[in-house]
Structure 1
Amino acid sequence: MYVAVNANIRVAQGAKHSLNKSLQISFRGGAVTGPSIHDLIKLFSTITLVLATIFVNYGLIR
């Protein structure tokens, strides 16, 4: 979230100077934010799958 907010601030400042500069900043900010969100989703999906497997194997969930 910190990276996304800072990228948005820098994009707004870059837009005051030129469209090209603001687009470059926005694509770089998205290049950081996108993969990090994807990795968090994979992490939480894995944790959920492992916990569900443990609960089913120990009979806590039918």
Structure 2
Amino acid sequence: MKDTCPACLTRDIAPAESRRRGDRTVDGYQCPNCRHTWATVRDLAAYSDIHARRAQRRTRRSAA
């Protein structure tokens, strides 16, 4: 999942490293613009509904 740099607000930065810990994912980022580093922890259950809706849209498009 891409993120925005909290220091300079550069958008769409891909994680430099990702690790999964149980039902959470930890992503480490480094901004290519200002070199600021940060990490995020996301609860995968909170994103399961988003991913399910995206999968359904792909199915509908491919069926058309």
Q: TM-score, normalised by structure 1?
A: 0.36
- Compare the two structures and name the one with the higher helix fraction: 1
The structure with the largest alpha-carbon Rg is 1
**Which one scores higher on RCO, CA 8 angstroms, separation ≥ 6?**
1
